[in-house]
A and B are shown apart, each in its own frame.
Chain A
Amino acid sequence: MTLDHLQAGNRGKITHLLGEEIMQIRLSSIGLIPGATITMDHTALLGDPRTYTVQGTQVSLRNSEAEMIEIAAA
């Protein structure tokens, strides 16, 4: 499944980054890398963007960006 399907409070482990190369670089530069554990924290009013915690850092992603991240249950 992809990250945008992760429910609030749940954890997943990043397995793959999808999408264009530049997007992958951007994602990995803020710590969204294969192997990292990620938790969904909060959702803005209209369901987008959301905040996540990955390796002790909080990041914020739009759902269209979270779709680029494959995760497995952790």
Chain B
Amino acid sequence: MSTNAPIRVALIGNPNTGRTTLFNQITGEKQATGNYARVTVSKSSQTVTHQGREIELIDLPGVYMLNSKTDEEKVTRDLLRNECPDIVINVINAGNLERNLMLTTQLIEMGLPRIFALNMKDEADSQGVRIHCDTLSSLLGGPVIEMVARDGMGIEALMDEIVRHSEKPSGTCPTVKIGYDSHLEEAIQRTSQHLTDLHPDSMSPEQSRWTAIKLLEGDTEILGDENDHTQLVENVQNERTTLQQQHNENSESLVLSGRYGFINGLLEEAREVETDTLMNRVNLTRAIDGVLLNRVLGLPLFLAFMWVMFETTFTLGTYPMDWIDAAVGALSDSLNGVLPESLFKDLLINGIIAGMGGTIIFLPNIVILFFFIALFSETGYMARGAILVDRMMHSFGLHGKAFIPMITGFGCNVPAIMATRTIENPKDRLVAILVNPFMSCSARLPVFVLFAGAFFAENAGSILFGVYMASISIALLTALVLSKTLIKGANTAPFLMELPPYRMPTWGSIYIHMGRSGAEFLKKVTGVILVGSIIIWFLQTFPQEIELSQDYESQISTLQESSENPAAHQEITQLKRAQEIEIQQGRYLGQVGDVIQPLFSPLGFDLNASIALLTGFVAKEVVVATFGVLYSHGDEANEESRGLRDSLASSMTPVTAIAFMIFTLLYVPCLATIAVLYKETQSLGWTTFSIGLSLTLAYTLALLVTTFGGGLL
């Protein structure tokens, strides 16, 4: 290895071992982590410097096996085989060696230089598990570093070890052999010899042994690689048949038993368990589950937690919202006083500040919502949620594992759709992808908070909860219909899932979730929303000269001079309004509105609402910004400055408001979601289908609400 090239280090481990936490700690990155298996679906890499050496860290998806049966396994195995990292760091959860070491046995057989990061040592301690690192190290053929990645403990030692390891001459990695049943062992030797003969010089003894084991396991990918060697493939098939006959067990089980034998032997020597402490811990988790997974209480409690989440998102959010609102108002007022009248001033106050300010006030709501999502995921409750709803989801044609992407969809549909990769069956996955845009992402939250506050101030939290329940119901019903019609054969994948023990969440990890969501939102405010606000302001302000059908100004002034009586006053107001409407219609925005308004008028949406929806095609946060800009213009005419809420409240009925919320909830996902839909389905057809479905559903349901809602409210 040249001393200048970066040391290429791959991080590999089971889900739920703190692999991504370790990666973040080393690189200072802020990737989201979670107490459930979903986070790393593709590899990511980052270069850091330690002791003057460049180290390229590659974070791989969490896997249990290296069989290339799921996407994650494929990504991981392909990288290990094709890109041969200089060192593999196997992250192991010290509290759960039995299961973690299964992956380790497969790494050992690949013969890659390795370091073992024995993570979550604190958890092992609290379980009463003592591990003899020296013994473990010699049995596994690589240094073992004890760590608590979450607190940064052991990171220095690990980095030192990486540099030390890279200075050793290559090929000094100790060979550790996992012993198998004697018949299987003989078959491995024969196949391995055959492989060495077929690929002279190109396969090391470890590689040919590994390939032989994979062939005997019936690994389709490796069998495909050797397809040209018909004799080899035929021999392998014969060996497999013979083994099956000799043992009444297939060769895969024989390989597994061999690995478990190795693991059990190893644990016998390298680990001591104080059974009392372990049982206390298991019992604690069980006791908590006794309540949270209680057959009767479980589901109501879950719903109650969700309700608390949305209620808090709204009520607690109003305080900081008011402060931001006041700050934005003060800024706007002071600028108004300082700047001379000009188009620029109008752009600044009625375009930029109205649009960005109108949106930014929802930052607290988004951060609070993410606080709860992070809290549920970090404590381990999210995985319990999947259990509570699996049966229900199952009967709607959705896989229980689709629950986590669905909840993630409350944050943002883009990572949520990517997170469906953990669902193995492609049809299950397609259903989960297609329903995800109906999960109300945080971009839609400002619209709901605004409308719920404007029209249903008394019950805003419950309305919010209701919107989210509607979102879930529509997603479920869509899944049901899809799985019964277009995507038959879904819902066959197994559910089995490991449950994380309940963990005390750390502030750090929750803070990362909240900070990330807040930063993303602010990025949008300064990006798409800024641009959107300027465009809308432009369309609403130009053309400046508009030919009016009658001379309103002179009529108004005549009336003002002539009399002071109430009738004339009323007439003036009417004239002013007519003039305002005619001016609005003359502007570019009015011209666009004329085209789309007829489409939306059956739903009861006025010009402003229609335009707001139109702009929301880009990103749904823009909807609120549009309202901000649209209503800021009219304000100048008014004596007192009215808030956006009041302007809205007087512009439509509560029924129309509900129809508007439903429409916003369902209509076309934003551009980013459409892009990820296409990327993940690899199908223009399904992408178009998703867009068409969302538009149809949004329109139909909003129309139903408008038509029949009046009778109910």
Give me the interface of A with B, judged by CB distance under 8 Å: 17, 21-35, 41-46, 48-49, 51, 53, 55-62, 65
Q: Given A45-B298, A46-B391: A25 and B67 within 8 A (CB)?
A: yes
Is B390 in the interface zone, CB < 8 Å from A?
yes
Q: In the bound complex, do residue B299 and residue A62 qualify as a contact, i.e. CB atoms below 8 Å apart? A: no
Q: Given A58-B498, A58-B499, A61-B496: A41 and B289 within 8 A (CB)?
A: yes
Q: In the bound complex, do residue A51 and residue B293 qualify as a contact, i.e. CB atoms below 8 Å apart? A: yes
Q: In the bound complex, do residue B391 and residue A49 qualify as a contact, i.e. CB atoms below 8 Å apart? A: yes
Contact of B69 among A25, A43, A57 (CB under 8 A): A25
Is B64 in the interface zone, CB < 8 Å from A?
yes
Q: In the bound complex, do residue A31 and residue B69 qualify as a contact, i.e. CB atoms below 8 Å apart? A: no
Contact of B253 among A22, A24, A51, A65 (CB under 8 A): A24
Q: In the bound complex, do residue B495 and residue A49 qualify as a contact, i.e. CB atoms below 8 Å apart? A: yes
Is B318 in the interface zone, CB < 8 Å from A?
no
Q: In the bound complex, do residue B388 and residue A44 qualify as a contact, i.e. CB atoms below 8 Å apart? A: yes
Q: How far is the CB of B212 from chain A (nearest CB, A)?
A: 19
Residue on A nearest B251 in the bound complex, by CB: A21
Residue on A nearest B383 in the bound complex, by CB: A60
Q: Report Cα–Cα, A54/B253, bound state, in Å.
A: 19
Residue on B nearest A53 in the bound complex, by CB: B282
Q: How far is the CB of B396 from chain A (nearest CB, A)?
A: 13
Q: Report Cα–Cα, A27/B256, bound state, in Å.
A: 12
Q: In the bound complex, do residue A25 and residue B65 qualify as a contact, i.e. CB atoms below 8 Å apart? A: yes
Contact of B390 among A17, A26, A59, A62 (CB under 8 A): A62
Contact of B295 among A30, A43, A55, A60 (CB under 8 A): A43
Q: In the bound complex, do residue A56 and residue B127 qualify as a contact, i.e. CB atoms below 8 Å apart? A: yes
Q: In the bound complex, do residue A31 and residue B388 qualify as a contact, i.e. CB atoms below 8 Å apart? A: no
Q: In the bound complex, do residue A26 and residue B494 qualify as a contact, i.e. CB atoms below 8 Å apart? A: yes
Is B241 in the interface zone, CB < 8 Å from A?
no
Q: How far is the CB of B355 from chain A (nearest CB, A)?
A: 47
Q: In the bound complex, do residue B387 and residue A30 qualify as a contact, i.e. CB atoms below 8 Å apart? A: no
Can you offer 9 A-B residue contacts whose CB atoms are under 8 A?
A21-B252, A25-B65, A30-B496, A30-B497, A42-B290, A44-B293, A45-B299, A59-B497, A65-B496
Q: In the bound complex, do residue A21 and residue B499 qualify as a contact, i.e. CB atoms below 8 Å apart? A: no
Q: Binary interface profile of B, 252-273, with partner A (CB < 8 Å = 1, else 0)?
A: 1100110010000000000000
Is B324 in the interface zone, CB < 8 Å from A?
no
Kindly list 17 other residue pairs between chains A and B, CB separation below 8 angstroms, not including A26-B496, A57-B98, A58-B286: A28-B102, A29-B99, A29-B102, A30-B498, A32-B496, A33-B256, A41-B286, A42-B290, A44-B298, A44-B388, A44-B391, A45-B388, A51-B289, A55-B99, A56-B278, A57-B99, A60-B495
Q: In the bound complex, do residue A45 and residue B501 qualify as a contact, i.e. CB atoms below 8 Å apart? A: no
Is B238 in the interface zone, CB < 8 Å from A?
no
Q: How far is the CB of B222 from chain A (nearest CB, A)?
A: 15
Q: How far is the CB of B561 from chain A (nearest CB, A)?
A: 76
Residue on B nearest A46 in the bound complex, by CB: B391
Chain B, interface size category, equals: 35 or more
Chain A residues lying within 8 Å of B383, measured Cβ to Cβ, are 60
Chain A residues lying within 8 Å of B99, measured Cβ to Cβ, are 29-31, 55, 57
Q: How far is the CB of A62 from chain B (nearest CB, A)?
A: 5
Residue on A nearest B275 in the bound complex, by CB: A56
Chain A residues lying within 8 Å of B496, measured Cβ to Cβ, are 26-27, 30, 32, 59-62, 65
Chain B residues lying within 8 Å of A51, measured Cβ to Cβ, are 289, 293, 387, 499
Q: Binary interface profile of B, 602-634, with partner A (CB < 8 Å = 1, else 0)?
A: 000000000000000000000000000000000
Contact of B256 among A23, A28, A44, A61 (CB under 8 A): A28
Q: How far is the CB of B238 from chain A (nearest CB, A)?
A: 19
Q: Report Cα–Cα, A33/B261, bound state, in Å.
A: 11
Interface of B is mostly: helix
Q: In the bound complex, do residue B289 and residue A42 qualify as a contact, i.e. CB atoms below 8 Å apart? A: yes
Q: In the bound complex, do residue A60 and residue B497 qualify as a contact, i.e. CB atoms below 8 Å apart? A: yes
Residue on B nearest A58 in the bound complex, by CB: B499
Q: In the bound complex, do residue A62 and residue B295 qualify as a contact, i.e. CB atoms below 8 Å apart? A: no
Is B400 in the interface zone, CB < 8 Å from A?
yes
Q: How far is the CB of B15 from chain A (nearest CB, A)?
A: 10
Q: Given A33-B256, A41-B289: A49 and B499 within 8 A (CB)?
A: no
Chain A residues lying within 8 Å of B257, measured Cβ to Cβ, are 34
Is B647 in the interface zone, CB < 8 Å from A?
no
Q: Given A29-B64, A33-B260, A49-B400: A24 and B252 within 8 A (CB)?
A: yes
Q: Report Cα–Cα, A62/B497, bound state, in Å.
A: 10
Contact of B498 among A21, A45, A57 (CB under 8 A): A57
Is B46 in the interface zone, CB < 8 Å from A?
no
Chain A residues lying within 8 Å of B252, measured Cβ to Cβ, are 21, 24-25
Q: Report Cα–Cα, A31/B299, bound state, in Å.
A: 28
Chain B residues lying within 8 Å of A55, measured Cβ to Cβ, are 98-99
Q: Report Cα–Cα, A17/B257, bound state, in Å.
A: 12
Q: How far is the CB of A44 from chain B (nearest CB, A)?
A: 6
Q: Given A31-B98, A49-B387: A23 and B494 within 8 A (CB)?
A: yes
Chain A residues lying within 8 Å of B127, measured Cβ to Cβ, are 56
Q: Binary interface profile of B, 286-315, with partner A (CB < 8 Å = 1, else 0)?
A: 100110011110110000000000000000
Chain B residues lying within 8 Å of A53, measured Cβ to Cβ, are 282, 286
Q: Report Cα–Cα, A27/B400, bound state, in Å.
A: 17
Is B285 in the interface zone, CB < 8 Å from A?
yes
Residue on B nearest A43 in the bound complex, by CB: B295
Is B96 in the interface zone, CB < 8 Å from A?
yes
Q: How far is the CB of A12 from chain B (nearest CB, A)?
A: 16
Residue on B nearest A22 in the bound complex, by CB: B69
Q: In the bound complex, do residue B295 and residue A44 qualify as a contact, i.e. CB atoms below 8 Å apart? A: yes
